[in-house]
A and B are shown apart, each in its own frame.
Chain A
Amino acid sequence: MANLKEWIPLMLQGCGLTVKLFFIVIVLSLPLGLILTFLYTGKSYVIRKIVGFYILIMRGTPLLLQIFFIYFGLPFVPKIGPMLTINDRFTAGCLAYVLNYAAYFAEIFRGGLLSVDKGQYEAAKVLGMTETQTTFKIILPQMIRISLPAVSNEAIILVKDTALITTIGLADLLKVTNNIVNRTTNITAFIVAGCFYLVMSYFLTLAFKHLEKRYAF
């Protein structure tokens, strides 16, 4: 307990990395998920099949395996391994999370897209709107609004999933905490870390609740 002053700053640093990872992944995977949704529901049969396969792989295998695959596995790919190697742990980690979460978000958005009433397309058409105008002004806003609760849920899972990055040796909140506990032989740090995660999830929930209210219809 005496060294609280010493290890709290360390934990905050770990938090910083966790938060940074969270935001990078959210900011990149949401738009990527959106693009995947439109490819997945688009006109090209081949692209639909490819995206379907991609989503199957990403959702059907452990995120931890994907992280290992990208950081440890890619260098061992025969012949082109060296070209695929990502030396920076953080970059490799981010990539794995983004690819994985984009697949989940794509499925969430697809659900949202399916629940937009077909009368909306018809109304837009008889009002003379083009397909592009209809997509961006009419369909997309409704689809995103419908998807918000599920996106919120997924984002909270991400807060906790960030802890997996510990496994490739990055000093995130969990890693730092674990080191402190080992050093001090005292579990207080675990409890403090738990509170940190809880606070992050809590504020995220609030933020999404606010968005849901703001865009209610």
Chain B
Amino acid sequence: MKMIEVKNIRKSFGDLEVLKDVSFDVEQGDVVAILGPSGSGKSTMLRSLIELEKVDRGEIKIEGETLCTNGVYAPKRKKRAILNKMGMVFQHFNLFPHMNIRDNLMCACLCSKQGTKKELEKLAEELLAKVELSDKIDAMPAQLSGGQKQRVAIARALMRKPDIMLFDEPTSALDPELTKEVLNVIKQLSREKMTMLIVTHEIGFAVEAANKIIFLDGGYVAASGTPDEVVNNSGNERIMSFLDKVM
């Protein structure tokens, strides 16, 4: 089943056209690594999927439902239902600093009455156990390391039971020795067949964990395919020089 269909999307910030013509599909259970030079529109593309940026042209479908066509978005209720299928994890974690970890996880679910307090508390405990942070449930975000914060952010996104997870450079703000613990959680999700899109500079991780790579450059998809096709056998010079720099 197609989880995401993106057709010819375009997006400008003022005069700057960031996405010029981007199309791709994501199947159920795909782990897609999005690579590309800085400023190539990776974040903009990812954020467009969850409506943090509005695209000007083209079509986005999530699980067969149309989020937008040529700048026209689905009506509020339907849009909300579509967006609820996705969770997102940011480079800078964006935990709520004034709440402890338990409330960070439960806040949004309580707001939308996703379950009773008891059920949600149980779910929060399960998910924290999954990211190996059970002992931090009463801690405040400021008391955690970067890697721990990011794992909490992942658990928080999972509280909403998304079908698709979007990661925007989840390890770029972390010290090298902390990236592994976050990547391990993502790998665990991939074993559970979670559909994921991950913007990353960790080529090794992309090759190992992703089954598909999209290489963005200058607002276009410069290459896409299996890691082997894109990384090892691509004749594309831009990709080669990019890989040289980051590997």
Residues of chain A touching chain B, judged by Cβ–Cβ distance below 8 Å, are 117, 119-120, 122-130, 133, 137-138, 141-142, 145, 215, 217
Contacts and interface: CB of A to CB of B under 8 A. Distances in A.
B144 interface: no
Q: Per DSSP, are chain A's interface residues mostly helix, strand or loop, or mixed?
A: helix
A133 B112 CA distance: 9
Given A217-B97, A217-B98, A217-B142, A127 B156 contact: yes
Given A122-B90, A217-B140, A217-B141, A127 B108 contact: yes
Contacts of B52: 122, 125-126
Contacts of B111: 128-130, 133, 137
B193 to A, nearest CB: 21
Interface string B79-99: 010011011101010111110
A35 B87 CA distance: 33
Given A128-B83, A128-B84, A138-B96, A119 B107 contact: no
Contacts of B97: 142, 217
Nearest to A215: B98
Interface residues of B, number: 26
Contact of A119 (B90, B98, B141, B157): B90
B243 to A, nearest CB: 30
Contacts of B94: 117, 119-120, 122-123
A127 B157 contact: yes
Nearest to B83: A128
Given A126-B52, A126-B87, A128-B112, A141 B98 contact: yes
